[in-house]
């Protein structure tokens, strides 16, 4: 027995202290190590943001060069890991593959699983940042039946990922710099978001001393759900299902109907009650990419734009402070780039890995770290006597 604070869904419980990411949900502010997300998305690039999240400061030119060199040194995955991929059904969801192969890294990189050794922790961190694009691209290639494409270290992080996804042996493939910039921005906008469900999962799993690859696999599993990272796939599928602008009122009515479990995917956020600052940048990026690709009249985008307008004008969404979130526009960009919806959440996972691993590093380096062990309010039966099967009924 004991007295516990009851807070289902952790709506008002701080699980840790952290100096990485700050969110003011009322004002729509998101800062990484003090830098506004808008500035980082506009002026910085993903690997620089990785450095910032991990080490607390923006790198000097020499530090950046060294960091990039360490990352590119680890972009290949062990050749034997190819067999892990081929063990999956060819129509496996890439997220199912990601949960498996990232967890399996613990069995391949024995020299970076001792969490008490700072050098091993650093190597595990760099390995995860470096290998996630390779693994995500391999998951994609496997599910579409194309050969794996090895990383190219002369390309930047985003361009290399696009090339590993879209190049085929028989053809030359040039990465369009505007698309790789848009890809990089998607990575940056998803890099960290303080104690969300998957990050809390990584922290809780790590608090027992489990190895970082296993813990990141736990984060990927949590991210997969449609209320979290899976929302980007669900959102695009919803926009397609709506199909034409005239059907929007029907779907808005469904979202408002308490007897219908349907929700507008890509809308609402536990913390943001004003707007999601990431969605603003994403929307602008979507316009740029679609214009570049000459698909501004894409019907899905038209539905998205009209749905956003209709929802924002509706008192239900205004009262409940439901605004488009980061997932609302990212799917449109990814679809325009040629990704199938099943790749949306793996791309979120590869972007969020830096947030997970930075939070992990902060936690492990804290001498006050304790195993996470929530309590409960027990609502079951009192102690009772066991009855043999013949005496039940
Ligand atoms: N459509 C319709 N109604 C909604 C929606 C929505 N998308 N989101 C919340 N509501 C209503 C909900 O029915 C509830 O109404 P009432 O108070 O009358 O019961 C009220 O708004 C509060 O909702 P909640 O579920 O208690 O809020 P929460 O903080 O637990 O959930 C959320 C936040 C993001 C899970 C939720 O808004 C949601 O399900 N959104 C759709 C999924 C989505 O887009 N998720 C991505 C989140 S951002 C990226 C990420 O985290 O990965």
Nearest to 331 by CA among 190, 139, 168: 190
Q: Which long-range contacts (CB under 8 A, 24 or more apart) does 121-125 make?
A: 121/212, 121/361, 121/364, 124/211, 124/212, 124/213, 124/357, 125/54, 125/212, 125/357, 125/361
Q: How many angstroms separate the alpha carbon of residue 187 from the centre of ligand 1?
A: 23
* Lowest-confidence segment of 18-22, 126-130, 223-227 by average pLDDT: 223-227
How many CA atoms within 13 Å lie on the side-chain side of 71?
26
**Same domain as 246, residue 103:** no
**Same domain as 181, residue 281:** no
**Same domain as 175, residue 316:** no
For 312-334, the pLDDT digits (tens) are 999 999 999 999 998 898 988 99
User: Ligand 1: does its nearest atom lie under 6 Å from the Cβ of 255?
Assistant: yes
Residue 189 within any structural domain of the chain: yes
Nearest CA to ligand 1 atom 49: 228
- The whole-chain average pLDDT of the chain stands at 94
Q: Identify the H or E element spanning 22.
A: strand 21-24
**Same domain as 357, residue 280:** no
For 104-121, the pLDDT digits (tens) are 999 999 999 999 999 999
Tell me: pLDDT of 301 over 90: no
Contacts of 302 (CB under 8 A, 6+ apart): 245
For 23-72, the pLDDT digits (tens) are 999 999 999 999 999 999 999 999 999 999 999 999 999 999 999 999 99
User: Ligand 1: does its nearest atom lie under 6 Å from the Cβ of 198?
Assistant: no
User: Ligand 1: does its nearest atom lie under 6 Å from the Cβ of 321?
Assistant: no
Band of residue 1 on the pLDDT scale cut at 50, 70, 90: low
Tell me: pLDDT of 295 over 80: no
Band of residue 293 on the pLDDT scale cut at 50, 70, 90: confident
**How many angstroms separate the CA atoms of 220 and 283, rounded?**
25
| 3 state DSSP class of 246 | helix
**Same domain as 194, residue 79:** yes
Residue 387 within any structural domain of the chain: no
**Same domain as 195, residue 238:** no
For 360-376, the pLDDT digits (tens) are 999 999 999 999 999 99
User: CATH number, domain at 209?
Assistant: 1.10.580.10
User: Ligand 1: does its nearest atom lie under 6 Å from the Cβ of 253?
Assistant: no
Domain with 260, as residue range(s), is: 231-337
Mutate to test the pocket of ligand 1, among 268, 272, 275 (most ligand atoms within 8 A of CB): 268
What ipTM was predicted for this assembly?
0.96
Set 74, 93, 269, 276: catalytic member: 269
User: In the chain, how many domains are there?
Assistant: 2
In this structure, the strands spanning 35-36 and 29-32 are antiparallel
C-alpha distances (whole Å) from 155 to each of 72, 164, 173, 178, 369 are 10, 11, 12, 14, 39
Nearest CA to ligand 1 atom 21: 320
**Same domain as 163, residue 101:** yes
Residue 271 within any structural domain of the chain: yes
User: Ligand 1: does its nearest atom lie under 6 Å from the Cβ of 182?
Assistant: no
User: Ligand 1: does its nearest atom lie under 6 Å from the Cβ of 264?
Assistant: yes
**Same domain as 124, residue 208:** yes
260 is catalytic: no
Residues 220 and 197: beta-carbon distance below 8 Å: no
Residue 8 within any structural domain of the chain: no
193 is catalytic: no
């Amino acid at each position: 027995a004991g007295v516990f604070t009851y807070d289902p869904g952790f709506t008002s419980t701080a699980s840790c202290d952290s100096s990485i990411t700050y969110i003011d949900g009322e004002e729509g502010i998101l800062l990484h190590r003090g830098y506004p997300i808008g500035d980082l998305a506009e002026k910085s690039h993903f690997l620089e943001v990785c450095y910032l999240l991990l080490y607390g400061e923006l790198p000097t030119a020499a530090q950046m060069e060294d960091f990039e060199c360490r990352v590119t040194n680890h972009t290949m995955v062990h050749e034997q890991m190819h067999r892990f991929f081929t063990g999956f059904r060819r129509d496996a969801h890439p997220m199912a593959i990601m949960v498996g192969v990232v967890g399996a890294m613990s069995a391949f990189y024995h020299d970076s699983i001792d969490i008490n050794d700072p050098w091993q922790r650093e190597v595990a961190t760099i390995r995860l940042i470096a290998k996630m694009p390779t693994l995500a691209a391999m998951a994609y290639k496997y599910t579409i039946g194309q050969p794996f494409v090895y990383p190219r270290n002369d390309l930047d992080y985003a361009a290399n990922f696009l090339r590993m996804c879209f190049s085929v042996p028989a053809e030359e493939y040039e990465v369009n710099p505007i698309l790789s910039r848009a890809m990089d921005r998607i990575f940056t906008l998803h890099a960290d978001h303080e104690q969300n469900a998957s990050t809390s999962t990584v922290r809780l799993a790590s608090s027992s001393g489990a190895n970082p690859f296993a813990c990141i696999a736990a984060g990927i599993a949590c991210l997969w759900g449609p209320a979290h990272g899976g929302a980007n796939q669900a959102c695009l599928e919803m926009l397609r299902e709506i199909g034409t602008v005239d059907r929007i009122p029907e779907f808005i009515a469904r979202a408002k109907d308490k007897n219908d479990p349907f929700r507008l995917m890509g809308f609402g956020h536990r913390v943001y009650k004003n707007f999601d600052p990431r969605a603003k940048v994403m929307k602008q990026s979507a316009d740029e990419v679609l214009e570049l690709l000459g698909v501004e009249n894409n019907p899905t985008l038209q539905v998205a734009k009209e749905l956003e307008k209709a929802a924002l004008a509706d008192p239900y969404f205004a009262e409940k402070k439901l605004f488009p979130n980061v997932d609302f526009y990212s799917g449109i960009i990814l679809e325009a780039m040629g990704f199938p919806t099943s790749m949306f959440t793996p791309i979120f996972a590869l972007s969020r890995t830096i947030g997970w691993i930075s939070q992990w590093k902060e936690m492990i380096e804290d001498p006050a770290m304790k195993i996470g062990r929530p309590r409960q309010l027990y609502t079951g039966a009192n102690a009772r006597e066991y009855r043999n099967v013949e005496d039940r009924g």
